A and B are shown apart, each in its own frame.
Chain A
Amino acid sequence: MAELSGWFPVAASHDLPLRHVFQAKLFDREMAIWRADDGNVNVWENRCLHRGVRLSIGVNEGLELKCQYHGWRYANKTAGCIYIPAHPANAPARQITNRTYPAVERFGLVWTTLEKDLSFDVVWPDGDWSVLRAIPVHAGPDAVAAALCKVLGAVPRPDIHAFAYALSTLCEAPVLALLQPQDSGKTVIRCLLSGGAQMERRLAVQANATLTRFRNIVEADASLEPVESEPVFEPVASELAEPPAASPDAMTVRVERKWQVAEGITGLTVVPTTGNLPAFQPGAHIDVTLPTGVKRQYSITDGPGTWKSWTIAVKNEPNSRGGSRFIAETLRQGDLLSVSEPRNNFPLRRDAAETLLIAGGIGVTPLLAMARALAAVRSGFRLHVFARSETHVPLADQLDGLLPAVTLHLALDPAQVAQRLAEVIGPHAPGRQIYACGPGGMTQSVLAIAEELGWPEEAVHFENFNNDHVIDTSSAFAVDLARSALSIDVPAGQSLLSVLRAHGVELPSACERGACGTCRAEVIEGTPDHQDAYLSRGERASNRHIITCVSRSRTPRLVLDL
């Protein structure tokens, strides 16, 4: 049907209790509308991007909407997919985002528009209004509008809305009617009654009865069967049909708060300068580009469904190359920072029966986000924080919210740390998973102890901040790019990543030291010469991935899935 521009009501505020998903339709487009626990109203295309199942039959988990078919989870506000249960150990490509519609909640109604960048412009007459029961009528909007005027003496109010009508015949109080065109054969009449919050029940009953009679007149010859119109869908973004590409994803955030979160550790809370922050997964980090040109990665510590601000924590390294020193000394509240979209090299499996989170000092940052995500879905976890003293525990106040699942281990010497680690890690059982983050020495001991205790490699996850390898760039080899149908020579002295980029192949990267895995590519043929600190031993042995910023080839030729 022909679409009209402008904002239309698609639900009443009272249609959206917490933990409910409302189904709506506007101009042949079906929408799933849900209120998150923080009050935010989401108006989304009623279709899961994965296999097209209606999200209106999905589960409102409070801050995430979970699809009923394969359990994909989409974040409040941004509609970004943040978890794919079929691949619990992989982070979903961050571009998977459901189509959203603008949402405004005003005058007791939820409004949306099919247009982009249209500011909300409905001006409402003064006074108190309360929303009556919506009446769907099996007739197109023009027919309903004409009948309203003819049968009920409605007066068009184009000054309010193209489909607004003043009605004095519904009940003893004045009523404003708005039409929501569902499709060419159905229109919802949404009425508001003047008279405010304590709407008189008698008036609501009267108005409802009059409207019901009106509907029977209009529908006298209509069938109640829905018009089966072809649903209208946007195609998914072309990136999703392609390998992940680099996205020019820098954005600007403002430092809202800077404070000392522990001895030698600075906390920053950043807020977007416009719009909202994108969805992120627990374990994700952002690259922060400082005015000095230095790029550093910091983990987001917030829980699921956060879109107003992010909190990161930065350790003051005395011999820093200008990263942490700048943040500790120069950066001030109100300053702007350039940050990347969240990336996740440390994805959290949510299929564990018990998750052990082991943090050393500043390493608590990604684990805090994980703990919050697990707490939100009531999944069993324990967070162990090792620190020099109580004052060295970063974000201690925020850990309090997770008690009693948090245990602090303070002032231990290396031998005691090892012993304590062995105690908390314990024997492996199916469904137990470890996530460790902290200084290199500590993650190494976690790995070693877990192995000794019989843990399989794939149950122990850790995040590396550093690659201690000395990179050997003396080899020369050729790469074939299967999808781009390109053959390139990589000479000695140049990284694979830089040569790829020189040939126009866009690959994201972050640390460029073989630690973060952002520039990973899939290997179809050939044997990589792994020089990174990112891939696990198993991944290394399978030779199915290569970290392009540092690794090279053992075979004269590599075929990559690019």
Chain B
Amino acid sequence: MRLFDYEYSAECYKVRLLLSILEIDHEIVPVDVHPGRENESAEFLALNVLGEVPVLVSDELILRGANAILVWLSRRFDPEAKWLPNEPMPAAVCQGWLTIADRLAAGVGTARMTLSRGETLPDKRATSEAHRLLRAVDEHLWFAERRGDDWLVPLPHPTLAEIACFPDIALCEEAGVSRIDYPAIRRWMDRVRRIERFTLMSGIFPASPPAPRTPVNQTQTESLS
């Protein structure tokens, strides 16, 4: 299985994440999007007429775009259907998050790519839109935490919702969108980064190691006065 991949692409990172978590053997084919514009070459356009990474080429089929690849990988390599649930409710909720992820990609994701090429943003629409979305995600996660839920879809384990939403949220500060006002998102990011076999990309740091099960003697914070 070969992944046509660009290091800085959040879309490609979604696929790299799931490949790593599900321990799927694969080969990376680097596509020099910037500055090489290899994605506009005739060979690549033959693979994907949209001229976009990621593209996954397996013996069975060729898939274009992160969502298609994520769905196929989950159905094909996750027999317990954890990452793409089967039950009607979680399946539908998960799809809803894939839509949010697409909105994030189109807005803040595109803004980030523009800025990271050293170009200036045409306007602030994308970043304002990002703040609106992040507010909604933060609110959702805050209430989820109250219910004892750690993840976007109310299940005891993460799903494709995490895989699809994490990259653009974790990279949004590169687009000038600060996460200081989204504490529930920041905590969720720690949880996502502690998923087993989670993998990093440039621009994302590892989370603090989880706390040991037996806590140290508890003391109380006191006034310094």
Contacts and interface: CB of A to CB of B under 8 A. Distances in A.
Q: CB atoms of A and B under 8 A apart anywhere in the complex?
A: yes
**Chain B residues touching A, range:** 35 or more
B221 A20 contact: no
A23 B186 contact: yes
Given A38-B216, A104-B223, A223-B128, A136 B181 contact: yes
18 contacts: A11-B183, A15-B183, A19-B211, A22-B186, A36-B216, A37-B212, A41-B221, A59-B206, A59-B207, A103-B224, A104-B222, A105-B221, A120-B223, A188-B181, A201-B143, A205-B143, A223-B124, A225-B127
Contact of B187 (A20, A119, A201): A20
Q: In this complex, which of A11, A102, A105, A133 has the most chain B Cβ atoms within 10 angstroms of its Cβ? A: A133
Contacts of B131: 224
B220 A17 contact: no
A105 B127 CA distance: 34
B132 interface: yes
A38 B219 contact: yes
Contacts, number: 102
B208 A224 contact: no
B127 to A, nearest CB: 7
Contacts of A57: 205
B220 A102 contact: no
A22 B183 contact: yes
A62 interface: yes
Contacts of B217: 38
Contact of B208 (A15, A21, A38): A21
Most-contacted residue by chain A among B181, B224, B225 (CB, 10 A): B224
Given A17-B187, A133-B139, A133-B142, A224 B218 contact: no
A485 B19 CA distance: 64
Interface string A229-247: 0000000000000000000
A450 interface: no
The binding surface of chain A is classed by DSSP as loop
A37 B216 CA distance: 6
A39 B218 contact: yes
Given A15-B187, A37-B212, 14 more contacts: A19-B209, A20-B186, A23-B186, A59-B207, A59-B208, A61-B209, A102-B223, A104-B221, A105-B221, A186-B181, A188-B181, A223-B124, A224-B128, A275-B224
The number of chain A residues touching the other chain, given as a range, is 35 or more
A120 B211 contact: no
Given A68-B205, A133-B139, A224-B132, A105 B220 contact: yes
A206 B221 CA distance: 32
Contacts of A24: 180
A226 B127 CA distance: 11
B35 interface: no
B215 interface: yes
B224 A60 contact: no
Given A17-B187, A23-B186, A134-B183, A38 B223 contact: no
Interface string A46-71: 00000000000101111100001000
A39 B221 CA distance: 7
B220 A39 contact: yes
B208 A20 contact: yes
Contact of B219 (A19, A39, A104, A136): A39
Contacts of B212: 37, 62
B7 interface: no
A149 interface: no
Nearest to B217: A38
B188 to A, nearest CB: 11
A308 B209 CA distance: 25
A226 B205 contact: no
B209 A37 contact: no
Contacts of B139: 133, 208, 212
Contacts of B78: none
A308 B183 CA distance: 30
B59 to A, nearest CB: 41
Given A119-B223, A224-B132, A19 B180 contact: no
Interface string B191-223: 000000000000001111111100111111111
A204 B67 CA distance: 35
A102 B225 contact: yes
B139 to A, nearest CB: 7
B190 interface: yes
Most chain B beta-carbon neighbours within 10 Å: one of A62, A63, A119? A62
Contacts of B117: none
A479 to B, nearest CB: 43
A120 B224 CA distance: 9
B37 interface: no
A212 B208 CA distance: 32
A118 B180 contact: no
B146 interface: yes
A18 B215 contact: yes
Given A19-B190, A39-B221, A60-B208, A201 B128 contact: no
Interface string A128-144: 00000110100000000
A188 B138 CA distance: 15
A118 B219 contact: no
A40 interface: yes
B219 A117 contact: no
Given A37-B215, A39-B220, A103-B224, A225 B209 contact: no
B178 interface: yes
Contact of A63 (B187, B216, B218, B223): B216
A25 interface: yes
Given A57-B205, A224-B132, A18 B142 contact: no
Interface in B11-69: none
A80 to B, nearest CB: 15
B221 A23 contact: no
Contacts of A18: 211, 215
Contacts of B143: 133, 201, 204-205, 208
Contacts of B180: 23-25
Q: Which of A20, A59, A61, A63 has the most CB of B within 10 A?
A: A20
Contacts of A14: 145
A15 B124 CA distance: 30
Given A102-B223, A120-B225, A204-B146, A19 B218 contact: no
A22 B187 CA distance: 9
A212 B139 CA distance: 10
